């Protein structure tokens, strides 16, 4: 392989992620405001898998390299970049392109890797915790002492919400399926855990809150979970719509919203910063400070070698991932 090429995973046709191939491709030198990073680890996620399948709202021109999150070493800086120098350890995000030995990214979308974090933890941080921050803090106005019900608490987005809510001084009720995922939620700071396998959760949540209900619902699941959540909210609660992992998009009866006086709030963390760049920059600053203070800790359940991206997507599709799964390049980038 020549000095101007690298190995990268490539999607040549939308559809089955099993058709992804590992190829030798040229890497791109950084333009003004960009950095070239030698990738040490990247974190595939459900949105990346959807993008490969053609089911995501963003459809990159083919062929493209998937994955949004990475951590590694800065190899070169474009004009105007002063916050990093070659050799700096960083974590960052792109819309796609991280499943490679090198990635070119906006310097503004990269952050110093905390000294206590390894490459895998850095790669697993930004997207999930950005979603949690925009949802809980920016849109949900979660305050210390409030109670938040976190759905899908065994996944990356859910566990990040548990971790962040705990760090913000909230009481967390975490919901997931299976003892292993519930144990991970407890380890991230959940005060109470409920297994979906136990059936309806309304009465349990009411009992845990003294009959009052929760102040914030964080819901990446949708469907029946969303419907029942509306039956266990406190007056003036905020119900955060993160996604629809269940596959069913629920509907809201506005007379119930009126009577209970709660808010239903849509959360698209990436779009939040694109609509309002100043607000997005403020979120990024908060996330950088949060990581630097060691206030939170991303949960990495499994690390796979570079040639196992498809296996990582198999685990994601089968819902075997607790927190995040990370692919490590283990190469001299």
Closest C-alpha to 167, from 134, 193, 207, 132: 132
How far apart CA 41 and CA 267 sit, in angstroms, is: 27
Q: Do 83 and 181 sit in the same domain of this protein?
A: no
| Structural domains of the chain, count | 2
How far apart CA 259 and CA 185 sit, in angstroms, is: 32
Q: Do 137 and 233 sit in the same domain of this protein?
A: yes
Q: Do 97 and 232 sit in the same domain of this protein?
A: no
Asked whether the beta carbons of 242 and 148 are under 8 A apart, the reply is: no
Buried b / exposed e along 265-292 (16+ C-beta atoms within 10 A): bebbbbebbeeeeeebeebbebbbebbe
Digit-by-digit pLDDT tens for the chain (333 residues) are 457 899 999 999 999 999 999 999 999 999 999 999 999 999 999 889 999 999 988 899 999 999 999 999 999 999 999 999 999 999 999 999 999 999 999 999 999 999 999 999 999 999 999 999 999 999 999 999 999 999 999 999 999 999 999 999 999 999 999 999 999 999 999 999 999 999 999 999 999 999 999 999 999 999 999 999 999 999 999 999 999 988 899 999 999 999 999 999 999 988 898 899 999 999 999 999 999 988 899 999 999 999 999 999 999 999 899 999 999 997 544
Give the up-direction half-sphere exposure of residue 169: CA atoms within 13 A in the CB hemisphere.
Answer: 5
Structure confidence at residue 331 (pLDDT): 56
Q: Do 31 and 163 sit in the same domain of this protein?
A: no
Q: Do 121 and 132 sit in the same domain of this protein?
A: no
Q: Which of 236, 255, 271 is the last residue of a domain?
A: 271
Residue 235, token pair as written in the block = 């007056």
Q: Do 241 and 139 sit in the same domain of this protein?
A: yes
Whole-model pTM: value is 0.91
| Residue range of the domain that includes 20 | 5-125+298-328
Structure confidence at residue 223 (pLDDT): 95
Q: Do 35 and 46 sit in the same domain of this protein?
A: yes
Residue 263, token pair as written in the block = 């808010």
Question: Most distant CA pair in the chain: distance in Å?
Answer: 66
Residue 277 inside a domain? The answer is: no
Task: Measure the N-to-C terminal CA separation of the chain; round to a whole number of Å.
Answer: 12
Residue 244 inside a domain? The answer is: yes
Residue 287 inside a domain? The answer is: no
How far apart CA 333 and CA 328 sit, in angstroms, is: 12
Residue 155 inside a domain? The answer is: yes
Structure confidence at residue 1 (pLDDT): 43
CATH of the domain at 41: 3.90.180.10
How far apart CA 38 and CA 25 sit, in angstroms, is: 14
Q: Do 154 and 42 sit in the same domain of this protein?
A: no
Q: Do 206 and 109 sit in the same domain of this protein?
A: no
Q: Do 40 and 157 sit in the same domain of this protein?
A: no
């Amino acid at each position: 392989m020549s000095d101007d090429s690298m190995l990268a995973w490539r999607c040549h046709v939308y559809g089955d992620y099993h058709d992804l191939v590992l190829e030798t491709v040229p890497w791109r030198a950084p333009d003004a405001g960009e950095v070239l990073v030698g990738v040490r680890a990247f974190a595939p996620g459900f949105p990346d898998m959807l993008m490969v399948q053609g089911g995501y709202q963003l459809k990159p021109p083919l062929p493209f390299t998937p994955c949004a999150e990475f951590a590694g070493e800065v190899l070169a800086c474009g004009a105007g970049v002063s916050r990093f120098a070659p050799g700096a350890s960083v974590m960052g995000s792109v819309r796609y392109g991280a499943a490679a030995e090198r990635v070119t990214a906006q310097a503004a979308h990269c952050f110093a890797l905390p000294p206590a974090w390894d490459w895998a933890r850095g790669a697993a941080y930004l997207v999930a915790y950005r979603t949690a921050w925009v949802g809980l803090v920016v849109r949900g106005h979660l305050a210390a002492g409030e109670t938040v019900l976190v759905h899908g608490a065994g996944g990356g987005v859910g566990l990040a919400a548990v971790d962040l809510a705990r760090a913000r001084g909230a009481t967390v009720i975490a919901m997931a399926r299976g003892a292993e995922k519930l144990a991970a939620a407890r380890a991230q700071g959940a005060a109470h855990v409920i297994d979906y396998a136990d059936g309806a959760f309304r009465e349990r949540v009411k009992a845990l809150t003294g009959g009052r209900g929760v102040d914030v619902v964080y819901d990446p699941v949708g469907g029946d979970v969303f419907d029942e959540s509306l039956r266990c909210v406190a007056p003036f609660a905020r119900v955060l719509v993160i996604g629809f992992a269940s596959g069913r998009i629920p509907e809201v009866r506005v007379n119930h919203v009126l009577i209970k006086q709660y808010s239903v709030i849509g959360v698209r963390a990436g779009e939040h910063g694109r609509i309002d760049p100043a607000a997005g920059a403020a979120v990024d600053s908060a996330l950088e400070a949060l990581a630097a203070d060691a206030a939170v800790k991303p949960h990495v359940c499994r690390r796979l070698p570079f040639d196992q991206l498809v296996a990582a997507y198999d685990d994601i599709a089968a819902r075997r991932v607790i927190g995040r799964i990370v692919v490590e390049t283990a190469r001299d980038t």
